[in-house]
């Protein structure tokens, strides 16, 4: 899955695996200019 966000220079790519490596999550958070708290907040809404 590929996501883009206005103001972010490159899209965030999330593979469709059952488990995603923590390193990939951290890299995507950095690319999306998100904090860890924002990430967990969004997970809580799902």
> Using H for helix, E for strand and C for coil, what is the string for 27-42?
HHHHHCCCCHHHHHHH
Full-model pTM: 0.65
Residue 19 has what DSSP assignment? S
pLDDT of residue 37: 93
**Nearest 5 degrees, angle CA 25-CA 26-CA 29?**
85
1-46, pLDDT tens digit by residue?
Answer: 898 888 888 888 888 888 889 999 899 888 888 899 998 898 888 7
Boundaries of domain holding 20 = 2-45
Distance (Å, rounded) from C-alpha 10 to C-alpha 40? 22
Q: What is the pLDDT of residue 45?
A: 82
For tokens 């958070």, what's the residue?
29
Q: How many domains does the chain have?
A: 1
pLDDT at residue 6, as a whole number: 87
């Amino acid at each position: 899955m590929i996501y883009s966000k206005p103001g972010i220079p490159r899209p965030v790519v999330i593979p469709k695996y059952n488990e995603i490596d923590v390193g990939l999550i951290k890299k995507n958070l950095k690319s999306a200019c998100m904090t860890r708290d924002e990430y967990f907040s969004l997970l809580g809404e799902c």
